[in-house]
Amino acid sequence: MVFHSEALDMERHDVDSLDSGSPELDIWLREQAAGAEARRVARTFVWVGSQRVDQVLGYYSLAGHRLVRSTLPSSVGHGSPSEIPAILLARLALDARLQGRGMGAALLADALTRIAIATRTVAARFVVVDARDDRAATFYEHFGFRRIPDSLRLVQKVSDIEALIPGE
């Protein structure tokens, strides 16, 4: 099956079909994603398959963000202004039926590619993730994100992401 992402459309997409194993992420998609979109505080993209394009198999939400350099380790914030533009990868969830098969990496790559393209128009230096737990933090670290000490916040430079994307 081939997957692709598209902007969430609550009238067209079956958000009730998603079962990520994390009820809070599933509930957020069903009950809050549309409101976040309407208030322009987050954009949500759903992952659908080629066989049933209305069935949501994963999603991620993106939002503008800013980091304060003084809250970052000097090795991360070095050379940045005191306030650093960033993109927050606010949520990322994959249906439990697809977990453990490398599909989480593909969904993350989809989100990071979208971010890299967006930063050609609106500048951002970092992608920020606030991991839900240590397991999620380890997942992001596997893909080059660096954990801020004593937290579940992780960051990665957009330039490092762009270097990994074919054709970028």
Catalytic amino acids?
Answer: 140
Three-state secondary structure string covering 73-97: CHHHHCCCCCEEEEEEEEEEEECHH
Q: Which helix (H) or strand (E) holds 159?
A: helix 158-164
DSSP 94-146: E-GGGTTTTHHHHHHHHHHHHHHHHTTTS--SEEEEE-SSHHHHHHHHHTT-E
Distance of CA 147 to the CA centre of its chain: 16
**Beta partners for 48?**
4, 56
- Integer CA distances (angstroms), 4 to 18, 38, 69, 124, 126, in order: 15, 23, 35, 24, 24
